[in-house]
Amino acid sequence: MERKLSARQVQMIALGGTIGVGLFMGSTSTIKWTGPSVLIAYIVAGAFLYLIMRALGEMLYVDPDTGSFAKYASEYIHPVWGYLTAWSNIFQYVVVGVSEMIAIGGYMQFWWPHLPGWLPGVVAVLFLCLANVASVKMFGELEFWFALIKVLTIVLFIILGLGVIIFGFGNHGQPIGFSNLWKCGFFTGGVTGFIFALSIVLTSYQGIELIGVTAGEAEDPQHTLVKAIHSTLYRILIFYVGAIFVILCIYPWNQLSSVGSPFVQTFAKIGITSAASIINFVVLTAALSGTNSGIYSASRMAYRLADEHELPKAYKKLNRHGVPAYSVIAISLGIFIGVILNAIAPLFFKNSGNAFVIVYSSSTLPGMIPWFVILVSQLRFRKAHPELLKDHPFKMPLSPWSNYITIVFLAITLAFMFFNPETRVSLTVGLVFLAIMAGVYFTKFAKNDHN
């Protein structure tokens, strides 16, 4: 493959992977579980995610390869974990891609109410497929601009929001102040509500490890990846914690469900009359960004599986631009079929809506597999290569204790997801998927590993 992703593009890909539609559309659902203390949930989850990225960075610095964490899983844990990590990534991004493409239909109907809901998604997936097949540089450039739109919107939102809070802009010159943070309670759902919220917060951070997939195609990978990982923590603090802090100061947390999108309402409050159209456009680009990076990531994992002889060798074949075109087309086709199935299912099954919601949310557990794998691989990496750590400039802080604490944190969050009726089914679907894929591996490929 060709190293065509510039430092500028990798930085924005890392950013785009962190900021999804979840922040613009789903922030109110995390707030309902635990009230303003959700800010602590975002900070705590963000700190642990930073440690995961540092563990990944320690290995990437020595071995920046395509599909990195799947490779490390095979090398340092067991080949079945490399297989499960790659398939988890593919499953996660096809499912997320389908949901984003279906959502695009709704966003476009905001402007053209009579447009068939499935049509924009189909057109978008074809466009993103062609862009990804064209070259990795084209993917990087698209992702750069998609991410830039999201970043600028959130920065503008925070600046305008602080204007409302401190100077009373759009509120007849009366500063709103910070009292909404504690006026209606801070820890409103107790410990249980807080940990339930943590599981949803963690889901919104999924995709942050995408930078590990870009390693094999980044220019000057050591410098680029170190810079991108170092900036993970402050990106999370500014974009997630900053935006949600502003929302919670302006609106009492228990009235948010009646507000609609806090982003739209805040822009409208300042007097930006086209606020709804602006946010609709931003959410549209956020959905395109999520699917664009999903096609990229999942296709590189398919390439990795083909390299290990666990998928047909056609998936490994590169076109003249150094892109695994067959893999890109296969992943895009998976998303395309999902969009079409969503459109025709209600014609045959009356309650198909619920089934699709379960399938979409079932990507939560597969999306967390890379995090566990990164933490365990890095422990084994240290044991296998003590000589590489002597002059290593980018070591994981406080390892191995930081690894153990992060693993326990992720495990507790998953356990609470099982106790929460709203997340139990999706977690079970994820477990069933992993069990099936492990079964496939041991019946078809395990013998090859012993030879």
CATH number of the domain to which 231 belongs: 1.20.1740.10
Domain assignment of residue 451, yes or no: no
Task: Provide the sign of the torsion angle of the four alpha carbons 362, 366, 368, 372, taken in this order.
Answer: positive
Closest CA to 33 of 207, 189, 214, 200: 189
Q: Distance between CA atoms of 64 and 301, rounded to whole angstroms? A: 15
382 token code pair: 């240290």
Domain assignment of residue 1, yes or no: no
Q: DSSP secondary-structure letter at 385?
A: -
* Phi, psi dihedral angles at 400 (to 5 degrees): -90, -10
Q: Distance between CA atoms of 391 and 376, rounded to whole angstroms? A: 22
Domain assignment of residue 2, yes or no: no
Q: Distance between CA atoms of 9 and 224, rounded to whole angstroms? A: 10
Q: Distance between CA atoms of 215 and 223, rounded to whole angstroms? A: 11
pTM of the predicted structure, to 2 decimals: 0.91
Domain assignment of residue 316, yes or no: yes
Q: Identify the pLDDT of residue 319.
A: 92
* N- to C-terminal Cα separation, the chain: 29
350 token code pair: 């009356």
Q: Distance between CA atoms of 164 and 177, rounded to whole angstroms? A: 8
Quick check: bond before 421 cis, omega within 30?
A: no
Domain assignment of residue 365, yes or no: yes
Q: How many helices (H) and strands (E) does the chain have?
A: 21, 0
Q: Distance between CA atoms of 18 and 187, rounded to whole angstroms? A: 26
Closest CA to 444 of 308, 317, 334: 308
406 token code pair: 């992060």
Domain assignment of residue 101, yes or no: yes
Q: Distance between CA atoms of 421 and 112, rounded to whole angstroms? A: 37
Q: Identify the pLDDT of residue 81.
A: 96
Give helix 79-109 / helix 68-76 axis angle, nearest 10°: 160
Question: Domain span at residue 427?
Answer: 7-445
Give helix 136-162 / helix 7-18 axis angle, nearest 10°: 60
Q: Identify the pLDDT of residue 257.
A: 74
Q: Identify the pLDDT of residue 451.
A: 45
Q: How many domains does the chain have?
A: 1
Q: Identify the pLDDT of residue 333.
A: 97
Domain assignment of residue 219, yes or no: yes
Q: State the 10-residue block means of pLDDT for the chain, 451 residues long.
A: 79 72 70 90 92 93 83 94 95 90 88 92 96 92 91 90 92 90 89 87 84 83 84 79 92 80 82 87 89 92 94 93 94 94 80 67 88 96 91 91 97 89 87 95 78 45
Residue 127: CB atoms within 10 A of its CB come to 14
Domain assignment of residue 450, yes or no: no
